[in-house]
Amino acid sequence: MGLDISVGGYGFRAGSYSGFAEFRAVLAKHALNIELDSMEGFGKNGVNSWDTIKSGLKILLDHSDCDGEIYPNQAKELLSALNYYRMDKRGTRGTKAMKSSADNEWYWAKINDWIIACKESVGTGLPIVFG
């Protein structure tokens, strides 16, 4: 079992549920320097509020991991944040996030999948669907 993402004519497999959780944890740590387990709604000791996060990445990080939608206006904000992270952080914090080059390639492929999905949503006016 795993998480599939679709929008318009584009779709991709976000990974297993645990793989998607790992992807989001790495993204949170290396793009925003936060531990997801410390955020409300995540680990047992979630003490930090999402209200303090001012990045469009929180749209993806705080989203349900099994269902729901990201709407085109949210996709536009997420796209901007992902592009910034990919372009400006990949060579510094981003690549340090992964354990091996194979993991690194998977991680950046998922970033690119999300960028394509966001572009499709913004271009078509359709939501990104978790399923």
- For 23-66, write each residue's pLDDT tens digit: 988 888 888 888 887 776 665 555 666 666 778 898 998 888 88
Tokens of 126: 């359709």
pTM over 0.85: no
Output 95 or 15, whichever has higher pLDDT.
15
Is residue 100's pLDDT more than 80?
Answer: no
H helices of the chain, in order, are 17-27, 58-61, 72-89, 101-124
Output 28 or 73, whichever has higher pLDDT.
73
Q: What is the pLDDT of residue 47?
A: 60
